[in-house]
Structure 1
Amino acid sequence: MTDLIKPADINAAGHLQIGGVDALDLAHKYGTPLVVYDVDKIRATFRAFKRVFEEEKVPYAVSYASKAFCAIAIYQVINEEGGHVDVVSGGELATAKAAGFPMDRVSFHGNNKSPEELAMAVDSGVGVIILDNFHEIDLLSAILKEKGKWAKVMLRVTPGISAHTNEYIQTGQVDSKFGFDLGSGQADRALEQVLADERMDLLGAHAHIGSQIFDVRGFVGCADKLASLGKHWQDKYGYAIKVLNVGGGFGIRYTEADQPLPPEEFVRAIIKEVKADCQQAGLPLPEIWIEPGRSLVGQAGYNLYTIGSRKDLPGYESYVAVDGGMGDNIRPALYQAKYEAVLAKDPAAKAAERVNLVGKYCESGDILIKDCPLPKTEPGDVVAMLATGAYGYSMASNYNRNPRPAVVFAEGGQDRLVVKRESYEDLIHLDLKY
């Protein structure tokens, strides 16, 4: 049994339960593959973030990074918790609008927002547009002038910090596609351009140093860089930063090998550093914003699969295949992400063998978990892959023309379908005959 499963995750029948609902019942009711979120866990994590800010008595915003998982229902939950959200595309913005999410609590990110997306953000009245490059400043300026409107903005800067994480998910180092560089003076030139535009109200600076980070020192260093930038801007331009947005990237536990701090402890360290830096520099304390995505929904998510075929080879680990795979979770194939899995009917069972848990897609790399410890399995058993709530469904595809799975929210012993399973008709409804 993995220690990712707690006693509270097992019901009286000995089955895995998610949000108080039996995982086998969910698999039978909705079919597999199935994505299930324990909404109680999402709310508890969100409230833990808020509690740290309130204990430290600082103005703040907890903004859900919705690229981790975007659907109408998750925006509704974040709204109920009084949070903000950040979006990175017109599609995510449209989803937030469809959820009735307050637009003044939306931040719009992205390194190549189209003119149409920027116009949509302006017309929708989003709370703040995070400017990423000079081209975007020019585009937004022209749109605001044409429409006779104003917008609150922030400048995304690259603080020159390379976080200890997979190279594909590092974003804060100097050589990055994101943001204005500090060392070369790009950030200063961007500030000058924005301050000269009467239709832009600059709230402050944003930085994001990466994702799945376990070491608090990177966040402390980022806070130092942003506070130093605030001091520089005040001294040189007389501009006082109102908001320091330190991004997200707080690591979570996918396997027993991962040993992250509780996410809220990252935030406490950031707050203390910003407080000390501002006091030393004689700066007023700005609002501190964070953007948790993975750390809010990652460990709250489960992928349920039904086991089908098996291939045994003498001298090799067996292959146990499930009815999903890289189409609903490409992370293992994309950057060798690690997961753990249990049998839904007996998550406490001891491992009897190690197998390669693989998907049904026509790729040799469609391996969900290599060397996966499992008890003996049979075709028809339901296996639950743990901590799949971030960047699984949001990166899902229709590869091999497989429909994407349904998504269910479970909370307080109740389950609710929040995203329907795609049908074959859904797959072909945009196709045209030649």
Structure 2
Amino acid sequence: MKIRYSDLIDQTFNFPTEEFTIKNNFLEFHGIPLIDLIQKYGTPLKFNYLPKISQNIQKAKKWFEKAIHSNQYKNKYTYCYCTKSSHFYFVLEEVLKNNISIETSYAYDIEIIKNLYQKGKMNKNIEIICNGFKTHNYIINISELINNGFYNTIPILDNYDELEKLSFFIHYPFKLGIRIASEEEPKFEFYTSRLGIGYKDILIFYLNKIKNNSKVELKMLHFFINTGIKDTSYYWNELFKCLHIYARLKKIAPELNILNIGGGFPIKTSMSFKYDYEYITNEIIYQIKKFCKNENILEPHIYTEFGSYTVGESGGIIYKILNQKKQNDREKWNMIDSSFMTTLPDTWAINSRFIMMAINRWNDSYERVFLGGLTCDSDDYYNSEQHLNAIYLPCFRKKIPLYIGFFNTGAYQDTISGYGGVHHCLIPQPIHILINYDEKKNLVYKIFRYSQKYEEILKILGY
């Protein structure tokens, strides 16, 4: 008796899960019958399940609230969303339902803020954290926000020159933050982040340029590392370095009261993903409180900047297996009806992993395969290097279609691939569906963007 694909999943993972269930031999995502989407819209198909965005925000808020309460922490927590993870209007609209702050990284982000304000999606009291290197246009846009009444906008200094430029264009006293240039992981080709101001230089800079400057008020010290928040010696070492700077600054800058520990809550990249969010949150609050007690300073108001965690798990994409190519005795290539380089660029650019499962035919026997995209590029594939294990799918049959889904793809993929633009080998961008609930809690599907037509692509190319 051949083992079925469903047996393989059951034996390998704890299944079903919070997100995934099987009904009538078809995979469902948050109770959504994905086969219905396929039958209605075809493939390839990109979708965003919007309620997941608010669910993740509220989970993080509860973890921090619980940690603050249990540790008797004497300050607050604020959740920021990093717009660079996904700039889409539907994402920001959902995010803003949750009483959060916004983090920007470039001049055009400010144009998004203006647009949302004009549409009544936010008011001028919203807190905006302006990160990144400040170009002239970025400086001008930040200044316009503050001059027009967005007084809770906090520019974060990335280098020394930005303070003078901001002070020139901003007409009123304004709040300010400083980003620490953290040390990178040992495996990096360079030692210190290109972003921010060095540990040793921050206090001198404050004393020379900020302390006696009546126009600015230092409110925030910003800390960020690329690996994200992980229970590793590297993360804790960098956090404590940041805390030492915070303590020294706090003793000469009483107005400083915010510690921004950046982003980095991970998202599920495989069915065997394990991460104790509640533990790590409690440990962060505990360690910061303990450190501040030893230094005899008040605990800071904690900020986080969660991008991928906010929006990543809302996204997914579905492909159809067009054909199978047997290149030798061992390798079977299942060819999808799109391109990984077009729709999931992180799979080939940085070997990112995503949850991948069959949508249908769960009662069929399975086989080991590689997945290939439609471009003529040898890098357009997905195999065990990106996936946690070897890839197994129901056996290919020419007369019975097989559909597969990649999940938790909602962060970065669209901006990296160039949403709405020209893609490798002119592979078109797929149809994009938004999934939400109406007032009566009924599922609602909305087409955000149709699949690209050749006319759109040729127009971009100047034909």
Q: Same fold (TM over 0.5)?
A: yes
Instruction: After TM superposition, give the deviation of residue 185 of structure 1 in Å.
Output: 2.0
Q: Distance in 1 between matches of 2:364 and 2:210?
A: 60
1:385 paired to 2:409: no
Q: Which residue of 1 aligns with 2:72?
A: none
1:130 paired to 2:156: yes
Q: Which residue of 2 aligns with 1:396?
A: 417
Q: Per the alignment, in what secondary structure is the counterpart of residue 214 of structure 2?
A: coil
Instruction: After TM superposition, give the deviation of residue 319 of structure 1 in Å.
Output: 1.3
Match of 1:154 among 169, 177, 185: 177
Instruction: After TM superposition, give the deviation of residue 389 of structure 1 in Å.
Output: 2.1
Match of 1:332 among 347, 356, 366: 347
Q: Distance in 1 between matches of 2:374 and 2:114?
A: 35
Instruction: After TM superposition, give the deviation of residue 96 of structure 1 in Å.
Output: 4.3
Q: Per the alignment, in what secondary structure is the counterpart of residue 299 of structure 1?
A: helix
Match of 1:109 among 131, 138, 151: 131
1:176 paired to 2:170: no
Paired AA for residue 279 in structure 2: E
Q: Distance in 2 between matches of 1:34 and 1:96?
A: 29
- Kept in 1, the 8 Å contact 2:49–2:435? The answer is yes
Instruction: After TM superposition, give the deviation of residue 334 of structure 1 in Å.
Output: 0.8
Q: Which residue of 2 aligns with 1:301?
A: 315
- Kept in 1, the 8 Å contact 2:319–2:405? The answer is yes
Q: Distance in 2 between matches of 1:191 and 1:36?
A: 51
Instruction: After TM superposition, give the deviation of residue 215 of structure 1 in Å.
Output: 2.3
Instruction: After TM superposition, give the deviation of residue 331 of structure 1 in Å.
Output: 0.9
Change (3 A) 1:406 1:199: farther
Q: Per the alignment, in what secondary structure is the counterpart of residue 392 of structure 2?
A: strand
Q: Which residue of 2 aligns with 1:286?
A: 300
Q: Distance in 2 between matches of 1:44 and 1:252?
A: 13
- Kept in 2, the 8 Å contact 1:327–1:361? The answer is no
Match of 2:219 among 184, 199, 203: 203
Instruction: After TM superposition, give the deviation of residue 411 of structure 1 in Å.
Output: 3.7
Aligned ranges 1:21-100 → 2 under 5 Å: 21-55=32-66, 56-57=68-69, 58-99=75-116, 100=121
Q: Distance in 2 between matches of 1:97 and 1:28?
A: 39
Instruction: After TM superposition, give the deviation of residue 383 of structure 1 in Å.
Output: 0.9
Paired AA for residue 427 in structure 2: N
Q: Per the alignment, in what secondary structure is the counterpart of residue 251 of structure 1?
A: coil
Instruction: After TM superposition, give the deviation of residue 218 of structure 1 in Å.
Output: 4.2
- Kept in 2, the 8 Å contact 1:211–1:248? The answer is no
- Kept in 2, the 8 Å contact 1:242–1:287? The answer is yes
Change (3 A) 1:11 1:255: closer
Bigger CA radius of gyration: 2
Q: Per the alignment, in what secondary structure is the counterpart of residue 218 of structure 2?
A: strand
Q: Which residue of 1 aligns with 2:240?
A: 224
Instruction: After TM superposition, give the deviation of residue 49 of structure 1 in Å.
Output: 1.0
Q: Which residue of 1 aligns with 2:264?
A: 249
1:146-186 residue CA offsets vs partner (Å, 9 max, x unmatched)? xx2443221110233638xx859xxxx8522111110x325
Change (3 A) 1:10 1:108: same
Equivalenced residues, count: 419
Match of 1:6 among 16, 23, 26: 16
Q: Per the alignment, in what secondary structure is the counterpart of residue 291 of structure 1?
A: strand
- Kept in 2, the 8 Å contact 1:342–1:383? The answer is yes
1:316 paired to 2:345: no
Q: Per the alignment, in what secondary structure is the counterpart of residue 60 of structure 2?
A: helix
Instruction: After TM superposition, give the deviation of residue 94 of structure 1 in Å.
Output: 2.8
- Kept in 2, the 8 Å contact 1:161–1:221? The answer is no
Instruction: After TM superposition, give the deviation of residue 190 of structure 1 in Å.
Output: 5.3
Match of 1:373 among 392, 398, 403: 392
Paired AA for residue 16 in structure 2: K
Q: Per the alignment, in what secondary structure is the counterpart of residue 203 of structure 1?
A: strand
1:415 paired to 2:444: yes
Q: Per the alignment, in what secondary structure is the counterpart of residue 365 of structure 1?
A: coil
Change (3 A) 1:50 1:340: closer
Q: Distance in 2 between matches of 1:418 and 1:105?
A: 31
Q: Which residue of 2 aligns with 1:118?
A: 139
Residue identity over aligned pairs, in percent, reads: 20
Change (3 A) 1:161 1:430: closer
